[in-house]
Structure 1
Amino acid sequence: MWLEIICGIIIYQLFRRFFYGGNDVLDVETSDFNAIFSVANRLEKLCGGKVYVGLNIPDADTGSRKGIDIVLVTKGEAAVISVKNVSGFVSINDDGSWTSEGGRSHRKERIPDPVAEAKNTASVLESYLEQRGVTLPEGYFSYKVIIPNPNFREIYRNFPPEVITYDQWVQLEPEPKGMISGWVKGAFRGGKKEMQDSFHQQLNFILSTAPMWDRFVI
């Protein structure tokens, strides 16, 4: 019996390596914290630039702080990334919220609209940067929701383009010489003109000195 189990695991790993090229993605369920760092490390390989993890930005509207999983900054653009370590069968409700069944908790769970949440987070970050003297080009920040959990199963496949499901996530490949591949360009709104070095340096300086959960910059 154990021999059959071991053979099954080996065949599964070979299958994943053949179809997904052995990418640095989650193979088993992990904590939300580890999932964020796994996504951050892979984004750096895919897109280059700098990845900031765990920003804790003041929100002027609520008087509290807004936690941001990841901010990706490249020469031409930036993206606010929300990592949802969701498992089980997931569907989208009429109000944009998600319902997960059969996940880690083995209970039916309702998740507030992750896309609306990511959009709001990007808005809070933009306001914070403007308060610190950064004039952002219109539409400079995009926002994405990444689902890195291999046990995620989408129902009806009606997820909006801002959501990168697990199947899409594992298929992303870096372009040679650090260029962003066509699919990644589509996922992260690539193709914009590179910003001036002074703007890029200012943005990275402010993000590197912004409040964080901890002093981690990938």
Structure 2
Amino acid sequence: MWFELIIGIIIFQLLRRFFSNGDDLDVGTYPANAIFSVAKRLEQLYGGKAYVGLRIPDADSGSPQNIDIVLVTQREAAVISVKNVSGFVSVDKDGNWECMGGDKHKTERLPDPVAETKELVPVLESYFERRGVALPEGYFSCKVICPNPNFRTIHADSFPPEVVTYDQWIQLKPEKNSLFSGWMKGAFHGGKKEMQESIHESLNSILSTAPMWDRLKLKSNKSVLGEFVEFKGDKDDLLELRNIKRSKVSRLTIQKTSMFGLAHSKLQVLYSPRDYHGEGASGSEWNEVCVRSSTEVVFQPQGSSKVRKYKLSSIISLSLSA
């Protein structure tokens, strides 16, 4: 019986790889889906704007620092790390996490997520200062959110207050008496409303143009953060796509398919010119090209040393950071 079961699993995996177009082999490895899901719920709960997948330049290290989410509300702001870990999780005396029996079925150790998140705050503050905005001390707070339904705590009282476990996450409500009440420090302590509004406007303006990861939205209901590399495909199609460059285009979407026989199916690609003035592109400013559905996007996911290829037929949209 065991022999037949093992053979069956092997055959299933071989068939899955044979028939797959390669688009679904890596997306589960990356936490972008969880990050976008958390950002959306935070906006629903507390209003404001959640900025996802930031790459903030760090003058000290000389390399960009990754920030999962920055949430900006009318009064305050927070740096948020999303840890999509599963299994039984405990905290040692140094604040490091040990995850046992999760999705990878092995023990995984994570450096103190709260300490790592707190280290991002001065990086972000320094970035704002270089952009001409000096924030009051303590304006940014931080949180570590664990949205995986298979997240289980061992000795829950050992987790610092900055950690939002899954059980706490699903119980959050927008009322003032919810768990998140007071999770962000009152930065102004009754300060002038005009000052609050001025800083809020400045934060949104700067974050909307801050460096971010490129992002792919796939038809499989997956999102991938990373870096767009190039298009691959027929030379005529590549010629059609020649104007889709980071310096010129901020976003492209994949529309309807035109069928000219299965081997020559075409996809309508709409792309908008990059707007450096913040006015946004109107519908009339969208450009259109038609290319073969077999054309591929070469993309390097965040945290991976390997590039991946995604067929245009599997993509809903591609956003390119400035």
Q: TM-score of the superposition, structure 2-length normalised?
A: 0.54
Local SS of the residue matching 2:117: helix
Question: Which stretch of the first structure deviates more once superposed, 182-191 or 72-81?
Answer: 182-191
1:40 alignment counterpart = 39
Contact 1:55 1:70 in 2 (8 A): yes
2:96 alignment counterpart = 97
Contact 2:141 2:183 in 1 (8 A): no
In percent, how many aligned pairs have the same letter?
A: 65
Q: CA deviation at 1:51?
A: 0.7
1:165 alignment counterpart = 165
Matched AA of 2:127: Y
- Rg larger in 1 or in 2? 2
1:136 alignment counterpart = 135
CA-atom RMSD in angstroms:
2.1
Q: Which structure dedicates a bigger proportion of its chain to helix?
A: 1
Alignment of 1:49-198 (within 5 A): 49-157=48-156, 158-175=158-175, 180-189=176-185, 192-193=189-190, 195-198=195-198
Distance in structure 2 (CA, Å) of the matches to 1:124 and 1:131: 11
Q: CA deviation at 1:31?
A: 5.0
Deviation digits for residues 58-77 of structure 1, max 9, x if unmatched? 11111111010000001111
Q: CA deviation at 1:53?
A: 0.4
Distance in structure 2 (CA, Å) of the matches to 1:189 and 1:40: 19
Contact 2:54 2:68 in 1 (8 A): yes
Matched AA of 1:188: M
Contact 2:46 2:174 in 1 (8 A): yes
Gaps of 5+ in 2: 1-27, 215-318
Distance in structure 2 (CA, Å) of the matches to 1:183 and 1:132: 33
Q: TM-score of the superposition, structure 1-length normalised?
A: 0.79
Matched AA of 1:186: G
Larger RCO (CA under 8 A, 6+ residues apart): 1
Matched AA of 2:105: H
1:210 alignment counterpart = 210
Distance in structure 2 (CA, Å) of the matches to 1:198 and 1:117: 29
Matched AA of 1:104: D
**190 and 136 in structure 1: CA distance in 2 versus 1, 3 angstrom threshold:** closer
Q: CA deviation at 1:167?
A: 0.6
Q: Which structure dedicates a bigger proportion of its chain to strand?
A: 2
Q: CA deviation at 1:188?
A: 3.2
Figure out how many residues of one structure are paired with residues of the other and give that number: 185
Local SS of the residue matching 1:64: coil
Gaps of 5+ in 1: 1-28
2:258 alignment counterpart = none
Distance in structure 1 (CA, Å) of the matches to 2:140 and 2:40: 20
Distance in structure 2 (CA, Å) of the matches to 1:30 and 1:186: 34
Question: Which stretch of the first structure deviates more once superposed, 40-49 or 30-39?
Answer: 30-39
Deviation digits for residues 32-61 of structure 1, max 9, x if unmatched? 110000000000001101110011001111
Distance in structure 2 (CA, Å) of the matches to 1:167 and 1:188: 20
Contact 2:140 2:184 in 1 (8 A): no
Distance in structure 2 (CA, Å) of the matches to 1:166 and 1:38: 13
Deviation digits for residues 177-218 of structure 1, max 9, x if unmatched? xxx4442223334585454322221111011111001359xx
